[in-house]
């Protein structure tokens, strides 16, 4: 699900212009059926774009491996709910008769679009969590290889005290990354996006710290071999 597509930039910003038009031209709009129809067509066009965006979002879910099947079904169900909402609004637009009808519809749609935006950000956060998970798995595999090499050095009676200390620090940082990412995922599931992204930033810092420790481990291995 590509979260930053051209369609995702639909913000219904031009609807704000419509609201101004309706607010400043009460008599003209109410008395001019032609203008009412132009407004109607304008809104229906915007709603159609939103519906198409949601359909695209739904169709791309199965292409991602960031979500379990249960999550994919939940996302598609949520998209269908949003699509049904906007389909209903299209029907209401077709029967709207006054500027007050249109203003009410615009407010409802803008509120729903904000809700969709928050949901989309939560999904993006979950995708980031999945990327972190893959990095953690690679780091844990690397930790196992480091442990095996330390064991080999110890068999040769090599002093690995410093190396083992660095290894423990590395593992601790990776454990912290895993913990932060797990907590972030729960935040995103409840659409507490700001808290989720704060946790991911903390996870990123811990991952960066782990990388610096890894460089120290490599230097220590080289030093022991040289000795």
Residue where a domain terminates, one of 108, 124, 140: 124
The answer to whether 61 and 72 have CB atoms below 8 angstroms apart is: yes
Say yes or no to pLDDT of 33 above 80.
no
Number of domains in the chain: 2
Query: Angle CA(188)–CA(137)–CA(141) in degrees, nearest 5?
Result: 165
Residue where a domain terminates, one of 124, 145, 171: 124
166 and 118, same domain (yes or no): no
DSSP SS3 for 201: helix
Taking only the tens place, the pLDDT of each residue in 193-202 is 999 999 999 9
d(CA 141, CA 135): 10
Q: What is the pLDDT of residue 225?
A: 75
Read off the pTM: 0.79
pLDDT band for position 177 (50/70/90)? very high
Q: Percentage of residues in the chain with pLDDT exceeding 70?
A: 85
Mean pLDDT of 48-69: 89
169 and 117, same domain (yes or no): no
Q: What is the pLDDT of residue 7?
A: 43
């Amino acid at each position: 699900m590509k979260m930053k597509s051209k369609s995702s930039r639909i913000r219904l910003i031009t609807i704000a212009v419509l609201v101004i038009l309706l607010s400043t031209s009460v008599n003209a709009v109410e008395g001019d059926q032609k203008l009412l129809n132009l407004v109607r067509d304008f809104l229906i066009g915007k709603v159609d774009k939103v519906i198409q965006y949601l359909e695209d979002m739904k169709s791309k879910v199965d292409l991602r491996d960031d979500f379990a099947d249960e999550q994919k079904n939940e996302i598609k169900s949520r998209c269908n709910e949003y699509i049904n909402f906007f389909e209903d609004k299209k029907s209401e637009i077709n029967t709207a008769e006054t500027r007050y009808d249109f203003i009410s519809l615009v407010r409802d749609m803008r509120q729903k679009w904000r809700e969709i935006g928050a949901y989309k950000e939560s999904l993006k956060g979950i995708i980031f969590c999945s990327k972190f998970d893959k990095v953690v798995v690679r780091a844990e595999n690397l930790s196992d290889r480091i442990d095996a090499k330390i064991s080999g050095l110890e068999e040769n009676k090599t002093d690995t005290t410093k190396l083992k200390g660095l290894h423990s620090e590395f593992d601790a940082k990776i454990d912290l990354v895993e913990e932060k990412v797990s907590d972030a995922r729960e935040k995103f599931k409840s659409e507490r996006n700001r808290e989720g992204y704060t946790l991911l930033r903390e996870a990123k810092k811990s991952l960066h710290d782990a990388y610096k420790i890894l460089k120290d481990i490599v230097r220590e291995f080289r030093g022991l071999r040289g000795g």
